[in-house]
Amino acid sequence: MSTPLLEVKNLSVSFDVSRPWLNRKLEGQDKVLLKAVNDVSFSINKGETFAIVGESGSGKSTIARLIVGLLKPSSGDVFFEGKSLSAGLEGAEARKLRRRFQMIFQDPFASLNPRWHVADIVAEPLRVFKTETGKQRREKVGELLSLVGLSPEDGAKFPHQFSGGQRQRIAIARALAANPDFIVCDEPTSALDVSVQAQILNLMKDLQDKLGLTYLFISHDLSVVRHMADRIGVLYLGRMAEIADAKSLFVDRQHPYTRMLLDAVPDLGMTGKPRKPVEGEIPSPLDPPSGCVFNPRCPLANARCRTERPELRLYGPTWAACHAVEEGRDKAA
């Protein structure tokens, strides 16, 4: 465990969301940049599940897309087994690496080409990476479909003949086809019903045990993350608020935002007990607050929080970016 499987260092990305050039010149506006991900660092060890939780607009899906190379970072880098991926996915070295990571998407209706047979969808990585040929490939597709709980005969069907959960199984089979080590899962169950979600989560856990997979698991649902993750990063407005072991996060959360998120989760065990509503809403990422981005909603915010941006610091087993935690104000409150 000397080098982590994946290491993200000071990753930032900005999107140009300004009006078209001509409108801008005519209306005398400046370029508008949206900082979707801001100086994010974390690492993932082989065989573990690292989860990123955050609400909409936190930049969690953007991080996923940066890691798999669908987007290029504005600054910072991603290292896979110590090798930089920042050159994008064009080089020969990166081409070899690409085989080793895959992605599972949120919407199983959009992630499978509706005009392709399921067998062709699952076989696409095999074709691209030329790992098997002809008959072997067909056998492998059958094996993969069985592995995810479908039947090899399902390969002859089209995606629209399957339910959402079954489609997500097909997507998982495709992700596994080229024997990857690392799978980025972008909200893999948020489009599914709970009973189907349980099936998919169990399947993903089983596959991890069987194949020694490493997951980056992105979700907005803390209960799902609690169930899946070994370590968790809490993202707020493009910045990491807290990184902790799954166990410590739920027992001994440090950052006030994490605390707020946990309090806001409806839980069946709490029937009748009202959850604590959170003050305010997430500010626009176009115009983030100065200092700590959470300060307008934070019950512990003071003058320092409004001006100075907190860095991630280690508190016991947990990394947190909070002045209040640093100064011990959270315990006093």
Partner 1 sequence: MSTPVLSVEGMTVQFPTRRGILTAVDDVSFSIKAGEVLGVVGESGAGKSMTGSAIIGLIEPPGRISSGQVFLHGERIDTLPAEKMRRVRGRKIGMIFQDPLTSLNPLYTVAEQLVETIRTHLPLSAADARKRAIGLLDDVGIPDASRRIDDYPHQFSGGMRQRVVIALALCADPDLVIADEPTTALDVSVQAQIIDVMKKLCAEKGAAIMLITHDMGVIAEIADRVAVMYAGRLAEIGPVRKVISDAAHPYTKGLMGSIPSLLSDAERLTQIPGSMPRLTAIPQGCPFNPRCSYAFDRCYIERPDPLPHDERRVACWLYDKEEALS
Partner 2 sequence: MSASAPPGRRPMGLFSRIIDSDIFYSFRTSPVAVVAASIALILILAAVFAPWIAPYNPFDPRTLNLMDGYTAPMETSFAGNYFLLGADHQGRDVFSTILYGSRVSLLVGLSATLFAMTLGVSLGLIAGYRGGFTDAIIMRICDIQLTFPAILIALLIFGVARGLIPPSQQESTALYVLILAIGLSNWAQFARTVRGATMVERQKDYVAAARIMGVHPLFILVRHILPNVTGPVLVIATIGLALAIIEEATLSFLGVGVPPTQPSLGTLIRIGQQFLFSGEWWILFFPALTLVLLALSVNLLGDWLRDALNPRLRK
Binding residues for partner 1 (CB under 8 A): 55-56, 163-166, 193-199, 201-202, 205, 220-224, 226-227, 250, 260-262, 264-272, 274-278, 281-282
At a CB cut-off of 8 Å and minimum separation 6, what does 275 contact?
263, 264, 265, 266, 267
Q: Considering only CA atoms, which of 283, 188, 214, 206 is closest in space to residue 49?
A: 214
**In this complex, which beta carbon is closest to partner 2, that of residue 51 or of residue 126?**
126
Q: Considering only CA atoms, which of 157, 228, 170 is closest in space to residue 198?
A: 228
Q: Does 137 bind partner 2 (CB under 8 A)?
A: no
Question: For residue 7, what is the DSSP state?
Answer: E
Strand boundaries in 195-258, DSSP class E: 214-219, 231-236, 239-245
**In this complex, which beta carbon is closest to partner 1, that of residue 6 or of residue 51?**
51
Torsion sign (Cα): 153, 158, 164, 167? positive
**Binding string, 81-100, against partner 2, x = CB under 8 A?**
--------x-----x--x--
Dist. CA 242–CA 204, nearest whole Å = 25
Among 70, 87, 264, 303, binds partner 2 (CB under 8 A): 70
Q: Which does 282 bind (CB under 5 to 8 A by kind): partner 2, partner 1, none?
A: partner 1
Starting at the earlier edge strand, list the strands of the sheet with 33-44: 33-44, 6-16, 75-80, 83-84
**In this complex, which beta carbon is closest to partner 1, that of residue 226 or of residue 255?**
226
Question: For residue 220, what is the DSSP state?
Answer: S
Q: Which does 310 bind (CB under 5 to 8 A by kind): partner 1, partner 2, none?
A: none
Site for partner 2 in 27-66 (CB under 8 A): 65
Q: Which does 164 bind (CB under 5 to 8 A by kind): partner 1, partner 2, none?
A: partner 1
At a CB cut-off of 8 Å and minimum separation 6, what does 178 contact?
99, 102, 125, 126, 128, 129, 131
Question: For residue 141, with 0-12 CB atoms within 10 Å meaning exposed, 13-18 middle and 19 or more buried, which class applies?
Answer: buried
Q: Does 110 bind partner 2 (CB under 8 A)?
A: yes
For 176, the 3-state DSSP assignment is helix
Question: For residue 281, with 0-12 CB atoms within 10 Å meaning exposed, 13-18 middle and 19 or more buried, which class applies?
Answer: exposed
**In this complex, which beta carbon is closest to partner 2, that of residue 77 or of residue 107?**
107
For 186, the 3-state DSSP assignment is strand
Q: Which does 227 bind (CB under 5 to 8 A by kind): partner 1, partner 2, none?
A: partner 1
**In this complex, which beta carbon is closest to partner 2, that of residue 80 or of residue 319?**
80
Largest Cα–Cα separation, the chain = 68
What is the nearest approach in angstroms of partner 2 to the Cβ of residue 41? 23
Q: Which does 95 bind (CB under 5 to 8 A by kind): partner 1, partner 2, none?
A: partner 2
Type of residue found at 128: V
Among 42, 50, 105, 162, binds partner 2 (CB under 8 A): 105
Among 102, 189, 197, 318, binds partner 2 (CB under 8 A): 102
Among 4, 54, 76, 125, binds partner 2 (CB under 8 A): 125
Strand boundaries in 56-105, DSSP class E: 75-80, 83-84, 101-104
What is the nearest approach in angstroms of partner 1 to the Cβ of residue 250? 7
**In this complex, which beta carbon is closest to partner 1, that of residue 178 or of residue 224?**
224
Q: Which does 260 bind (CB under 5 to 8 A by kind): partner 1, partner 2, none?
A: partner 1
Contacts with partner 2, residue ranges (CB under 8 A): 65, 68-70, 89, 95, 98, 101-103, 105-107, 110-116, 121, 124-125, 128-129, 156, 171, 174, 178
